[in-house]
Structure 1
Amino acid sequence: GLHHLVWEIVDNSIDEALAGYCDTIKVTIEPGNSILVEDNGRGIPVDIQEKMGRPAVEVILTVLHAGGKFGGGGYKVSGGLHGVGASVVNALSTKLEVFVKRNEKLYYQAYHRGVPAADLAVIGTSEETGTMIRFFPDDEIFQETLEYDYDLLATRLRELAFLNKGLTIEITDDRADKPITRSFHYEGGIKSDVEHLNRSKEVVHEEPVYVHGNRDGIEIEVALQYNDGFAAHIYSFTNNIPHQGGGTHETGFKTALTRVINDYAKKFWSDERGATARCPERCPPERMTAMLSYKSHHNPNFCRTKRKNK
Structure 2
Amino acid sequence: MAASNYTASNLSVLEGLEAVRKRPGMYIGSTDSRGLMHCLWEIIDNSVDEALAGYGQNIQIILHKDGSVEVQDDGRGVPTDIEPRTGLSGVEVVYTKLHAGGKFGGGSYTASGGLHGVGASVVNALSSRLDVHVDRGGKTYQMSFRHGVPGIFDDGRTPKPDNAFSTAGDPLQVVGKAKRGVTGTRVRYWADPMIFTPDAKFSYADLTARARQTAFLIPGLRIAIRDDRRLPGTPGENESFEEVFQHDGGIGEFVEYLAHDTSVTDIWRFTGRETFTETVPVLDGKGHSKLTEVERECEVDIALRWGIGYETTLRTFVNIIATPKGGTHQTGFEQGLLKTFRKHLTDNARKFKVGANEKIEKDDVLAGLTAVLTVRLAEPQFEGQTKEILGTPAVRQIVSQVVAKQLADKLKATARADKTQATQLSEKVVAEMKSRVSARVHKETQRRKNALETSSMPTKLVDCRTTDVEKSELFIVEGDSALGTARLARSSTYQALLPIRGKILNVQKASITDMLANTECAAIIQVIGAGSGRSFDLDSRRYDKIVMMTDADVDGAHIRTLLLTLFYRYMRPLVEAGKIYAAVPPLHRVEVVHRGKPNEMVYTYTEQELHQLLASLEAEGKSYKEPIQRYKGLGEMDADQLAETTMDPRHRMLRRVRVSDAEAAERAFTLLMGSEVAPRKDFIIRGAHKLDAAAIDV
2:182 is the counterpart of 1:120: no
Q: CA deviation at 1:273?
A: 9.8
Gaps of 5+ in 1: none
1:75-124 per-position Cα deviation (integer Å, ceiling 9, x unaligned): 22221223200000000100000000000100000000111014111111
1:177-206 per-position Cα deviation (integer Å, ceiling 9, x unaligned): 5211111111121111110011x321112x
Structure 1 Cα separation of the partners of residues 175 and 104 of structure 2: 23
SS at match of 1:86: helix
After TM superposition, the structure 1 stretch with the greater mean CA deviation from structure 2, 77-86 or 21-30, is: 77-86
After TM superposition, the structure 1 stretch with the greater mean CA deviation from structure 2, 278-287 or 207-216, is: 278-287
1:53 counterpart residue number: 87
Structure 2 Cα separation of the partners of residues 121 and 229 of structure 1: 59
2:309 is the counterpart of 1:229: yes
1:243-272 per-position Cα deviation (integer Å, ceiling 9, x unaligned): 221111101000001122122213333368
Q: Does the 8 A contact of 1:45 with 1:71 survive in 2?
A: no
Cα distance 1:124–1:13, how it changes in 2: closer, same or farther (>3 A)?
same
Q: CA deviation at 1:147?
A: 2.1
SS at match of 1:222: strand
1:148-203 per-position Cα deviation (integer Å, ceiling 9, x unaligned): 111111111111111111211111101125211111111121111110011x3211
Q: Does the 8 A contact of 1:265 with 1:276 survive in 2?
A: no
Q: CA deviation at 1:300?
A: 2.5
Q: CA deviation at 1:307?
A: 2.1
Q: 1:202 aligns with which of 262, 265, 270?
A: 262
Q: Does the 8 A contact of 1:95 with 1:113 survive in 2?
A: yes
1:7 counterpart residue number: 41
SS at match of 1:80: coil
Q: Does the 8 A contact of 2:133 with 2:143 survive in 1?
A: yes
1:285-304 per-position Cα deviation (integer Å, ceiling 9, x unaligned): 11111111122212322322
2:253 is the counterpart of 1:187: no
Q: 1:303 aligns with which of 365, 373, 384?
A: 384
Mapping 1:83-102, distance limit 5 Å: 83-102=117-136
1:81 counterpart residue number: 115
Q: Looking at CA atoms only, which structure, 1 or 2, has the larger radius of gyration? A: 2
Identity of aligned residues (%): 40
Structure 2 Cα separation of the partners of residues 95 and 71 of structure 1: 31
2:259 is the counterpart of 1:259: no
Q: Does the 8 A contact of 1:234 with 1:292 survive in 2?
A: yes
Q: 1:249 aligns with which of 311, 325, 329?
A: 329
Q: CA deviation at 1:283?
A: 6.5
After TM superposition, the structure 1 stretch with the greater mean CA deviation from structure 2, 105-114 or 161-170, is: 161-170
Q: CA deviation at 1:282?
A: 8.3
Q: Does the 8 A contact of 1:48 with 1:54 survive in 2?
A: yes
Give the number of the structure whose residues are more often strand, by fraction: 1
After TM superposition, the structure 1 stretch with the greater mean CA deviation from structure 2, 72-81 or 100-109, is: 72-81
Q: 1:290 aligns with which of 371, 386, 396?
A: 371
Structure 2 Cα separation of the partners of residues 166 and 302 of structure 1: 31
Equivalent residue letter for 1:185: Q
Structure 2 Cα separation of the partners of residues 284 and 126 of structure 1: 55
Q: Does the 8 A contact of 1:15 with 1:76 survive in 2?
A: no
Equivalent residue letter for 2:46: N
Structure 1 Cα separation of the partners of residues 194 and 208 of structure 2: 26
Structure 1 Cα separation of the partners of residues 105 and 332 of structure 2: 36
2:218 is the counterpart of 1:157: no
1:16 counterpart residue number: 50
Q: Does the 8 A contact of 2:68 with 2:188 survive in 1?
A: yes
2:199 is the counterpart of 1:145: yes
Q: CA deviation at 1:276?
A: 8.4
2:99 is the counterpart of 1:65: yes
Cα distance 1:81–1:273, how it changes in 2: closer, same or farther (>3 A)?
closer
Q: Does the 8 A contact of 1:168 with 1:184 survive in 2?
A: yes
Q: CA deviation at 1:20?
A: 0.6
Aligned length: 308
Q: Does the 8 A contact of 1:251 with 1:282 survive in 2?
A: no
Cα distance 1:250–1:161, how it changes in 2: closer, same or farther (>3 A)?
same
SS at match of 1:218: strand
Q: Does the 8 A contact of 2:323 with 2:387 survive in 1?
A: yes
Structure 2 Cα separation of the partners of residues 245 and 55 of structure 1: 39
Give the number of the structure whose residues are more often helix, by fraction: 2
SS at match of 1:191: helix
Equivalent residue letter for 1:209: W
Equivalent residue letter for 2:252: K
Q: CA deviation at 1:40?
A: 0.5
2:252 is the counterpart of 1:172: no
Q: Does the 8 A contact of 2:325 with 2:388 survive in 1?
A: yes
Q: Does the 8 A contact of 2:49 with 2:114 survive in 1?
A: no
Q: What TM-score do the two structures reach when normalised by structure 1?
A: 0.93
Structure 2 Cα separation of the partners of residues 306 and 83 of structure 1: 15
Q: Does the 8 A contact of 1:45 with 1:56 survive in 2?
A: yes
Q: Does the 8 A contact of 1:269 with 1:276 survive in 2?
A: no
Structure 2 Cα separation of the partners of residues 77 and 44 of structure 1: 18
Gaps of 5+ in 2: 1-34, 153-170, 231-237, 276-296, 392-698
CA RMSD of aligned residues (A): 2.2
Cα distance 1:298–1:24, how it changes in 2: closer, same or farther (>3 A)?
same
Equivalent residue letter for 1:163: L
Structure 1 Cα separation of the partners of residues 176 and 104 of structure 2: 23
Structure 2 Cα separation of the partners of residues 183 and 71 of structure 1: 33
After TM superposition, the structure 1 stretch with the greater mean CA deviation from structure 2, 94-103 or 186-195, is: 186-195
Cα distance 1:58–1:269, how it changes in 2: closer, same or farther (>3 A)?
same
Q: CA deviation at 1:57?
A: 1.3
1:215 counterpart residue number: 274
Equivalent residue letter for 1:252: G
Structure 1 Cα separation of the partners of residues 198 and 365 of structure 2: 41
Q: CA deviation at 1:32?
A: 1.7
